[in-house]
Structure formats: structure tokens, C-alpha cells
């Protein structure tokens, strides 16, 4: 068996065992950091009207003339150097999007990060720790929701977390979708369902949009499916030169897409503290001229 396929088989066998050993939440749960720094949990499933899904009162906003986003599959923050890498790379980021995130390492690092207001969509628990995707920003979101799509074989859900953030001096908001796509399936059906669950939120948003995360595009078919849906949503991929994104079966699996924005800089970092490399992109609002 070729090395790559052997790795897939071994990983799938391990996950099949693993999937029977972890608690999976029944509902779409979001955990957030309250004013008293105690974890608050609520059920906030995505609906066509994101504004009704869950809202906070914000006191600050993101600069439309320049802000940065970091997206990274963090491998649960389990490596000993992970926190120091996060702080080094993302200290000044306005928005941090983590996949395979664990709350505890992020909470430990939050004091050193500008993006320290976080939400986490839990997929499952492992060793009594919540694991899922986490979106952090330097400001609290206006609204947010989570979608879930179970792995067809494993039943462990992959999740998407949508949140809107206010933009200074504008009457619009920035929609940011942090996503970890279904992995262990040969067809694109589950990927399509995962996009379907978020499509109404994305198409219904009339401001700028960012969709970023681990798309698990490790085959021609999966990559084509993601690119097709991004085209339908009028999303453009961020280009990384040089491109240090992790590849599986010669396909990059991570990415950042955008709409209604201009890219001013981009970078893919190389690290040893995760099995994925962080992606960094800097944006400004298209057509906006600051005061």
C-alpha cells in the first residue's frame, strides 16, 4: 500500500476506535469567555437569520483600513511549543481562527494576545477537555452561530462557527466563518451538506466575508467541490507566496477565502508545534477611504 494511503488507513482505524471513546454533545454548543472569565455555554445553532442566533453588545470595532487574520489547525495545542508559537505569530492579530482547538491552551495564552475575546464551538470532549474550533478577536462579535456535520463513518461532528464583527465608522459588519470540513469520506456529499448549513448565513450577509480553516481538500474531487462552492459564494482565495501550507496527497488542505475585501499582505508560517502550518492574511475593506 502506498505510504499516503497507508497513513489514511492507519489514521482512520485509530479514529474509529477513538470515536467510540469520546462524549459528543447532542446540540450545537458554543462556549464563550464571560466578563468574569468564567466559561459560559449555550446552544446556538445556525439559522438563516444570524442576528437571531445569538448576540452581544459590543464596545469596540475592527479597523476597516487594516486588520489581520490568522487561521491554524492547532492539533489541540498539545505540543509543548504550541503556546509560544501562537503568541509569537499571532500576538497582534485582530482575529484568530483555530481548528482542532482546546480551550485550556488558548485561555493560558490569552493575556499575551490582542485577540482575546473568544468563542468556541465544541465538537467533542477528550480527556475532559472541550475540542472543536475557536474564533478569537480583539472585539466581541455582534452575533454568532454554529453548524455541525457528523463524519459519516465516525459520527464525530465537524463544525463551522460564523460570527459578525463591527467595522469602525461603517454601517456594515464583517462576517467570519471558521470551518473544519468533514474528512473521512470519499464522496463530496457531506462537504456539500456542511456548506448548505452555512450558505443562508453567508449569502444573506451584505458586508465583507472571510471563510477560513481546514477544508480537508486532499483529493481532486474534494478540492473541486470546495472551489465550486466558493465560486458560487463569490469568494476569492488568498494566495500565499511562498506557499508553506501542509499538503496531503499533494493537495493543500488549509485556506482563507474572502469577499468584499482587499488583501494587503499574506504569509504561511512553518512550525513544528502542529501538523498544520498557520496562515496569516491582512485585509482592508474594499472601496473604503478612512478619515
CA 60 vs CA 16, 32, 122, 196: distances in Å: 44, 17, 26, 32
pLDDT at position 58 is: 56
Provide the pLDDT confidence category of residue 23 given band limits of 50, 70 and 90: low
pLDDT at position 118 is: 85
Provide the pLDDT confidence category of residue 53 given band limits of 50, 70 and 90: low
> Which stretch of DSSP H or E encloses residue 102?
strand 95-102
Which one is predicted more confidently, 24 or 14? 24
CB distance 16 to 154 below 8 Å:
yes
- Is the confidence at residue 173, as pLDDT, over 90? yes
Query: ∠ at Cα 157 (267, 40), nearest 5°?
Result: 80
Give start and end residues of each alpha helix (H) in 130-272: 189-203, 220-232
The whole-angstrom separation of Cα 11 and Cα 70 is 27
Is the bond leading into 157 cis (omega within 30 degrees of zero)?
Answer: no
Q: Taking the domains of the chain in order of start, what are their residue ranges?
A: 3-285
Q: Which of 79-83, 152-156, 160-164, 236-240 has the lowest mean pLDDT?
A: 152-156
Looking at residues 261-283, what average pLDDT do you find? Answer: 95
Q: Quick one: cell of 88? A: 509569537
Going by CATH, does the domain composed of 3-285 fall within 3.30.420.10?
no
pLDDT digits (tens, 9 = 90+) for 199-220: 999 999 999 999 999 999 999 9
pLDDT digits (tens, 9 = 90+) for 76-110: 766 778 888 999 999 999 999 999 988 777 777 77
The whole-angstrom separation of Cα 13 and Cα 19 is 10
Amino acid at each position: 500500500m502506498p505510504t499516503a494511503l497507508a497513513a489514511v488507513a492507519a489514521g482512520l482505524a485509530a479514529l474509529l476506535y477513538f470515536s467510540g471513546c469520546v462524549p459528543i454533545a447532542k446540540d450545537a454548543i458554543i462556549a464563550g469567555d464571560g466578563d468574569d472569565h468564567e466559561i459560559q455555554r449555550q446552544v446556538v445553532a445556525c439559522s438563516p437569520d444570524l442576528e437571531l442566533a445569538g448576540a452581544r453588545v459590543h464596545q469596540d470595532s475592527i479597523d476597516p483600513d487594516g486588520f489581520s487574520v490568522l487561521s491554524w489547525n492547532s492539533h489541540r495545542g498539545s505540543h509543548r511549543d504550541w503556546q509560544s508559537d501562537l503568541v509569537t505569530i499571532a500576538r497582534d492579530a485582530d482575529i484568530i481562527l483555530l481548528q482542532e482547538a482546546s480551550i485550556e491552551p488558548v485561555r493560558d495564552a490569552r493575556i499575551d494576545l490582542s485577540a482575546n475575546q473568544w468563542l468556541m464551538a465544541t465538537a467533542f470532549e477528550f480527556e475532559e477537555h472541550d475540542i472543536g474550533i475557536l474564533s478569537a478577536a480583539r472585539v466581541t462579535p455582534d452575533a454568532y452561530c454554529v453548524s455541525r456535520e457528523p463524519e459519516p463513518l465516525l459520527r464525530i461532528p465537524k463544525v463551522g462557527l460564523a460570527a459578525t464583527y463591527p467595522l469602525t465608522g461603517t454601517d456594515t459588519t464583517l462576517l467570519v466563518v471558521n470551518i473544519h470540513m468533514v474528512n473521512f469520506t470519499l464522496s463530496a456529499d457531506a462537504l456539500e451538506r456542511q456548506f448548505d448549513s452555512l450558505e443562508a448565513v453567508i449569502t444573506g450577509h451584505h458586508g465583507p466575508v472571510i471563510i477560513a480553516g481546514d477544508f480537508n481538500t486532499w483529493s481532486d474531487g474534494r478540492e473541486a467541490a470546495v472551489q465550486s462552492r466558493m465560486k458560487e459564494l463569490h469568494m476569492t482565495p488568498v494566495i500565499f507566496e511562498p506557499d508553506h501550507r501542509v499538503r496531503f496527497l499533494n493537495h493543500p488542505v488549509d485556506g482563507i477565502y474572502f469577499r468584499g475585501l482587499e488583501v494587503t499582505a499574506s504569509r504561511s508560517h512553518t512550525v513544528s508545534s502542529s501538523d498544520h502550518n498557520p496562515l496569516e492574511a491582512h485585509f482592508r475593506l474594499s472601496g473604503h477611504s478612512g478619515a
